[in-house]
Amino acid sequence: MEPNLSVDFFGKIAASPLVLASGVMGISYSGMLKVVENGCGIITTKSYTVQRRKGHEGPVVAEFNGGFINSMGLSNPGIYEGMKEIADCKKRCDAPIIISLFGVTAAEFTELVRAVDSSIIDAIELNLSCPNVADEYGIPIAASTEKVFEIVSAVKSITKLPVIAKLSPNTYNVPEIALSAEKAGADALTLINTLGPGMIIDINAQKPVILNKFGGISGAAIKPLAVKLIYEISKLVKIPIIGTGGVLTGEDAVEFLLAGAAYVGVGTAVYYNGIDVFAKINAFFSSYLRQNNLASVRDIKPI
Ligand SMILES: Cc1cc2nc3c(=O)[nH]c(=O)nc-3n(C[C@H](O)[C@H](O)[C@H](O)COP(=O)(O)O)c2cc1C
């Protein structure tokens, strides 16, 4: 019998536990459709703000031998344009869609949530953790148990959709923040957003590769940190975790499930390994399940 890769996602069936991470191809409906056609089970959109954001001037992405740094500056067309793309995607596929929202205050987040058409969205992810925008953004929210509690509670009080808190690795107290999000009613966590920011210098040009100088680190370099936080936090909270950070291969994805993730996010790997990375990871899941005499991906239990 073919191993079963499908999983429940808040009452919907997803064909695979693989989740497209926010910011990577989740902007146009054609990009979202393409990842689903290539085996991704659940889509996360780019993070939306209320108004359109142009983002930072390029270059905004640079590669090093452990992954990427990026400083996109949350470029996005604004939530209203974003909802149109999602509606077009939803007409053409059944995969669950998580809309990612980015604000700074609870009021900004609730304004965004009010703009979400809950009939076509399956969950809301709160990006509490972007390291790439000016100081009062991102880091203070992600590092404050109070702010995380306030924002998650405010959002929970106005929506019936499942709410996912996406946390940052850039603070010493991530487990405490995770507990605070759960206490505020979060239905799931995404761990982790990018690390840093970090910096890459072009030694020939003798200047930073990224125009904005610094960027969040993603890819293979952050994987052991993601695995550790997923392992630690999955033992503390009862809500499911979308484990994200440095998954490039099927082996990495199985490692995340063994660490305690319920779903596995894939971002930078799409740039590295192409869009068929989802199909390749699914094929590895199937062979791993066969080798271990397991019927379903849900039989891969956390260690
Ligand atoms: C180019 C790029 C853009 C990103 N944009 C977003 C974003 O808009 N919102 C967000 O929550 N995370 C964003 N991220 C972070 C990813 O969703 C993910 O958490 C992180 O890159 C770690 O996973 P990875 O190593 O598989 O890429 C972005 C990452 C990259 C590389």
**267 Cβ closer than 6 Å to some ligand 1 atom:** yes
Is residue 202 domain-resident?
yes
If you measure from the C-alpha of residue 185 to the centroid of ligand 1, how many angstroms do you get, rounded to a whole number? 24
For residue 139, the model assigns a pLDDT of 55
Round to whole Å and give the CA distance between 98 and 12: 12
Mean pLDDT on 116-129: 94
Predicted pLDDT at 257: 98
Mutate to test the pocket of ligand 1, among 19, 20, 22 (most ligand atoms within 8 A of CB): 22
Residue 94 falls inside a structural domain: yes
Is residue 49 within 6 Å of ligand 1 at its C-beta? no
For the cut 70, the answer to whether the pLDDT of residue 137 exceeds it is: no
Taken as a whole, the chain contains a residue count of 303
Mean pLDDT of 100-121: 94
Domain count, the chain: 1
* Per-residue pLDDT tens digits for 39-61: 999 999 999 999 998 888 899 99
CA of residue 147 to ligand 1 center, whole Å:
22
The residues annotated with a catalytic role in the active site are 130
User: Which residue's alpha carbon is at the smallest distance from atom 30 of ligand 1?
Assistant: 23
pLDDT of residue 104: 84
Residue 1 alpha carbon to ligand 1 centre in Å: 36
Give the pair of three-digit tokens for residue 147: 């702010």
For residue 100 and ligand 1, the question of a CB distance below 6 A is answered with yes
Q: Is residue 58 assigned to a domain?
A: yes
pLDDT in tens, 182-202: 999 999 999 999 999 999 999
Per the CB < 8 A criterion, the answer to whether 66 and 220 are in contact is yes
Helix (H) or strand (E) holding 89: helix 79-92
Give the pLDDT score at 130: 62
Nearest atom in ligand 1 to the alpha carbon of residue 44 is: 17
> What's 218's domain CATH number?
3.20.20.70
Confidence label for 8 from pLDDT (cuts 50, 70 and 90): very high
State the pLDDT at residue 134. Answer: 44
Residue 150 lies in a domain: yes
- Of the candidates 194, 210, 207, the one whose C-alpha atom is nearest the C-alpha of residue 60 is 210
The pLDDT assigned to 300 comes to 98
Which 3 state secondary structure label does DSSP give 51?
coil
2 within some domain: no
**Percent of the residues in the chain that have a pLDDT greater than 70, as a whole number:** 96
pLDDT digits (tens, 9 = 90+) for 219-240: 999 999 999 999 999 999 999 9
- pLDDT band for position 73 (50/70/90)? confident
Computed over every residue of the chain, the mean pLDDT equals: 94
**Structural domain containing residue 76:** 7-299
Mean pLDDT of 284-294: 97
* CA distances (Å), origin 165, targets 46, 86, 153, 184: 15, 20, 11, 10
Assigned domain for 228 exists:
yes
Q: State residue 131's pLDDT score.
A: 58
Residue 129: predicted pLDDT: 79
pLDDT of residue 140: 67
d(CA 240, CA 248): 21
Ligand 1 within 6 A of CB of 142 = no
Task: Determine, yes or no, domain membership for 238.
Answer: yes
The per-residue pLDDT for range 160-183, each reduced to its tens digit, is 999 999 999 999 999 999 999 999
Establish if 1 belongs to a structural domain.
no
